[in-house]
Structure 1
Amino acid sequence: MSGEPRHPRQPSAPLPDFCSLPVLFALLVVGALTVTLMWLAPGNDGDLRDYSIAVLFTSWLSVLLTVALCKLRPWMQRLPGLWPYAAVWLLLVTTVGASAAVLGWIDHNLAAGLSPASRFGFVRDCMLATGLLGAGLLRYFYVVAQWQVRVAAAAQAQVAALQARIRPHFLFNSMNAVAALIRVDPDAAERTVENLSELFRAALGSDQTSPGTLGEEWALVDRYLDIEALRLGDRLRVERDIDVPADLPLPRLLLQPLVENAIRHGVQPLREGGTVRLGGRRVPGGVEIVVENPVADAPATPGNGHGLRNVRERVRFHFGERATVDASVREGRFVVTVFLPEVTRARTDRR
């Protein structure tokens, strides 16, 4: 095949969300601090009037720049490599330069004394200050964006590890139960195979285009409990007291590991078995989900805490710092309480 080889396009560096209030706040603060430092610098003979006008000018520029960056961000994000940040820097410098030129022209014609006498020097100084401050601010935004990308990659790796981790003993026990039920109770064997297929579909991530919901997660938990009921029989007892919105966005396989730990470390080691309690209720600011199990004196398989820690990190990553996962022993029972804040903008890019 003739012709020059085509090089793959360099991936675009992610830009921050310029439509968000934190970006506007950062621009306002940087502008006000710059004016304040210049006003307090030795040799500056400006009065409070000049300082107030400068703060008002930088605040108006911050709002104008935020609107411009918000509207132009989709176009700039399509540029390859670091060109999106170069485009943002050029937009900052040119917008401030044009605004300073317009202000100087208006002030010169009205003779209001709002800007220095030298219009060229005023425009030059504004563009120079914006270029230096913009470079530093964009460097900060770039570092934050890269950090967020690394956090997202780490979280996705943890989710993939959790979804890919299917304990062999659970699979073998379930298949043995199916084999034993085929001749005795074919319907139960068929239901068990269907439940296993749903668990495998969720664990292997067959549908990663959208997040799950709390209702779907409860249904998955019920399928898992049906399989464990075949193995443990009357030793496994389940109590439910759930009154939460079923359409709440939820990462897949978030609650099932908590129920699995409750059975594996709480019910299974006890000769007489035990009761797993599943609760859910509305609380101020969100919903609260509780998974309880009895505490065994000597668990059959000591845990290492990886499952609970993984769930805690996924909850915090998906719902933010307000979300919590608390674990404690109360009155002889191990209680895991998950608080999920009801957010208006759920992070659907995380599962």
Structure 2
Amino acid sequence: MQQRSTTMTAPNWLPQFCTVPTLFAVMVVAELVALVVVSVPEASPRPWLPRLGVLSVYVQWLALLNAVVLCSLRRPLAHFDVRAGFGVAWLVCLLVTALASAVVCQMDQALGLGLSVPAGSSARFVLDNAAIAALIAAALLRYLYVLEQWRERVRAASKAQVEALQARIRPHFLFNSMNTIASLIRTRPAEAERTVEDLADLFRAALGADDAPGTLGEELDLIARYLHLERLRLGDRLGVEIDVSALPRDFALPRLLLQPLIENAIYHGIEPRGDGGTLSLRGRREAGALEIAISNPLPADAPARRNGLALANVRARIEYHFGTRGVLRVEPGPGTYTVTVRLPEAVAR
């Protein structure tokens, strides 16, 4: 436990250079540098396109080499403060570039390829590369640092919003459940006892840490307990159709992500109807993602109840845990209301 806490609170000022977005940014900057360098006139002009090809390969190799070195040093550099760590990372880029330039120059001259510089200009070649790397590394490290800090602030704000929404939705769930238990104590005490146990399991999940996900199987079991509570309260007015056999029960899922949608379907759709209705819960796997659809009939004449809080809660949690690949889609139709949750099987967070 102590080790986990230390990892979470350690400084995280240096971006993760092994991620695809960061590597792409580094490669784009490297190619722009190659275009600028190749546009400088030479004393003995060579064809432009071959020069660009050779220089692009060399610059991209240097950029990826620096990215790999910084990626491997990310954890040791995290122990420095921002200024000292920035200086060390900058010096590492200069050292790697200088050494790599010297090695390439020596190999080129030994093989007689003539792709770099003549034998007497090796020192200047290394110094020129180091000077260019000093400017580019300083600007790029600063840009990536600012970008990483902005992402951290966005993640923190999203998590705070999710926790606030979750805290607001729990009282409504608690009041409904307690009313159900109160109605059972005198008439069916055994059912009331089982209901208390189901409620305890539900709130044990609800009060758990949001950053410790459960599984889809656990969520479906909690939904079954919740539906048992509602069947006791609504009786034959609540019908249930569940088909989730195609879903993997071990899929990692934030706790109580789907239950508020089930509660919404009953509270806003089935409960206001005099004859009740049937709640449908169906799931399937499609194109590397899970799709879970929750449908309920709409009341004909009953006044509409506001349900934006639960939907906002679930949508914010999906965005926080699954990013843009997670989707909550609302499909109101004639007489039917369907909410579909689409979650990628490859979870990033």
Query: One-letter code of the match for 1:175?
Result: M
Question: 1:106, 1:173 → 2: CA distance?
Answer: 77
CA contact (8 A) 1:13 1:84 kept: no
CA contact 1:265–1:300 (8 Å) conserved in 2? no
Tell me if 1:332 matches 2:331: no
**Partner amino acid, structure 2, of 1:143:** V
Report the alpha carbon displacement of residue 83 of structure 1 after superposing the two structures with TM.
3.6
Amino acid in structure 2 at the alignment position of 1:47: P
Moved more, 195-204 or 173-182: 173-182
Superposition pairs of residues 154-165 of structure 1, within 5 angstroms: 154-165=157-168
Q: Is the 8 A contact 1:277 1:291 kept in 2?
A: yes
CA distance in 1, matches of 2:84, 2:263: 48
Q: Is 2:59 the counterpart of 1:66?
A: no
Match of 1:210 in 2: 212
| Distance 1:194-1:188 versus aligned 2 partners, 3 A rule | same
The residue that corresponds to 1:242 in the other structure is: 244
* Counterparts of 1:213 and 1:231, CA distance in 2: 28
CA contact (8 A) 2:169 2:309 kept: no
Match of 2:232 in 1: 230
What CA distance in whole angstroms lies between the structure 1 residues aligned with 2:68 and 2:262? 48
RMSD: 2.5
- CA gap 1:83/1:329 in 2 versus in 1, 3 angstroms: same
Q: Structure 2: 5+ residue runs without aligned partners?
A: 1-8
CA contact (8 A) 1:291 1:335 kept: yes
1:27 is displaced (CA, Å) by: 2.5
Distance 1:203 1:82 in 2: 42
Q: CA deviation at 1:258?
A: 0.7
Q: Which residue of 1 aligns with 2:3?
A: none
Does 251-260 or 226-235 show the bigger shift? 226-235
- Cα–Cα, structure 1 residues 81 and 194, in superposed 2: closer, same or farther, change >3 Å? farther
Unpaired runs of at least 5, structure 1: 1-9
User: Equivalent of 2:282, from 273, 279, 282?
Assistant: 279
Length-normalised TM-score, structure 2: 0.86
Give deviations 1:136-158, integer Å, cap 9, x for gaps. 22222112211221222122113
The amino acid of 1:20's aligned partner reads T
Q: 1:93, CA displacement in angstroms?
A: 1.4
CA distance in 1, matches of 2:329, 2:163: 23
Bigger shift: residues 218-227 or 46-55: 46-55
Counterpart contact for 2:165–2:309, Cα < 8 Å: no
DSSP 3-state at the match of 1:34? helix
Provide Cα deviations, 1:208-242, integer angstroms capped at 9, x if missing partner.
56311111111111222222222222222111111
The percentage of aligned residue pairs carrying the same residue is 47
Equivalent residue of 1:340, what SS?
strand
Q: Does 1:196 align with 2:203?
A: no
Q: Cα offset for 1:289?
A: 0.2
Q: Which residue of 1 aligns with 2:257?
A: 254
The 2-side partners of 1:86 and 1:297 are apart by 68
Higher deviation after alignment, 297-306 or 321-330: 297-306
SS in 2 for 1:198: helix
State the partner residue of 1:125.
128
- Structure 1: how far apart are the matches of 2:113 and 2:199? 79
- Flag the 1:70–1:11 CA change in 2: closer, same or farther, 3 A: closer
Corresponding pairs, count: 336
Structure 2: how far apart are the matches of 1:159 and 1:209? 11
> Partner of 1:26 in structure 2?
25
Matched position secondary structure for 2:325:
coil
Matched, 1:47 2:47: yes
Say whether residues 1:290 and 2:289 are aligned partners: no
1:312 paired residue number: 315
Distance in structure 1 (CA, Å) of the matches to 2:186 and 2:253: 39
Deviates most, 248-257 or 76-85: 76-85
